[in-house]
Amino acid sequence: MSFEELQARWQAHDHEGQLNIDSDALLEEVRRNQRDFEKRLWRRDFCEVTAAALVTFVFGTLAVLMDQWSLFLGAAGSLFVGIFLVFDRLKQRRQRSTVADSLPSAIDASLVQVQHQIWLLRNILWWYLLPLVPGPVAILAFTFWQSRGNGLADQLVIAFVGLICLLVFWCVYWINQREIARNLEPRRKELEELRASLA
């Protein structure tokens, strides 16, 4: 069979089968999905920023009430993370491409998004973990200093809490680096290859 015959069979074939779409239901579904997608993005941003604001508020209030400088450090760290997230999300929203762009620019836009995500996760130590570290460290150091006369048991408890904090920070870092290696880097490679094949 020649390719032309294959082509003719392909064109003669009923690819839709017995598909009978209710276009009103479909329209409603598409509009709902689009709304849901926008809502989900908004909710994610809202949760992240609200969490940072809440931690800032709690640390800030405790710092004022207890008059402890170490708590101010925690509030400042959370505030920095919150502000960073707001700026980053706003910048990303402005860069979101429309569907009507050409295929190469659509691939470029996806590539930019993935590269940014990689950058964000790779540098999570600098914009997320390190700003949050001084607060707990200062609080623990301050408590440790205050408990120096209470015996070894108290100091061991504080050291244990410090170790747990360190473990949590390390887990956050490790999970994010694993996400880069498992999903984002292969995705970037795939998009780069796709882009190169259009060149």
Partner 1 sequence: MTVDDQEAMFQQWIRNHLGIIVKVVRSFAEVSADQEDLLQNVFINLWSSIPSFRGDSKESTWIYRVSLQTAMVWRRGERIRTKHQSKYLNEIAVVAQNSVDGSCRANELIEQLYSEIRRLPKIDASIALMHLEGIAYRDIAEVLGISENYVGVKLCRIRKELNERLGGTRG
Under the criterion CB under 8 A, does residue 94 sit at the interface with partner 1? Answer: no
- Complete DSSP assignment for the chain: --HHHHHHHHHHS-TTTT----HHHHHHHHHHHHHHHHHHHHHHHHHHHHHHHHHHHHHHHHHHHHT-HHHHHHHHHHHHHHHHHHHHHHHHHHHPPPTTS-HHHHHHHHHHHHHHHHHHHHTHIIIIIHHHSHHHHHHHHHHHHHTTTS-HHHHHHHHHHHHHHHHHHHHHHHHHHHHIIIIIHHHHHHHHHHHHHH-
25 makes contact with partner 1 (CB under 8 A): yes
Q: Which stretch binds partner 1 (CB under 8 A): 53-61, 83-91, 98-106, 127-135?
A: 98-106
Asked if residue 104 binds partner 1 (CB under 8 A), the reply is yes
In the window 119-178, what residues touch partner 1 (CB under 8 A)?
A: none
Closer Cβ to partner 1, 84 or 188, answer by number: 188
CB of 23 to partner 1, least distance (A): 4
Per CB under 8 A, 191 contacts partner 1: yes
CB of 196 to partner 1, least distance (A): 10
- Does 44 help bind partner 1 (rule: CB under 8 A)? no
Contacts with partner 1 by CB under 8 A lie at: 1, 3, 6-7, 9-11, 13, 15-27, 29-34, 36-37, 98-107, 110, 187, 190-191, 193-194, 197-198
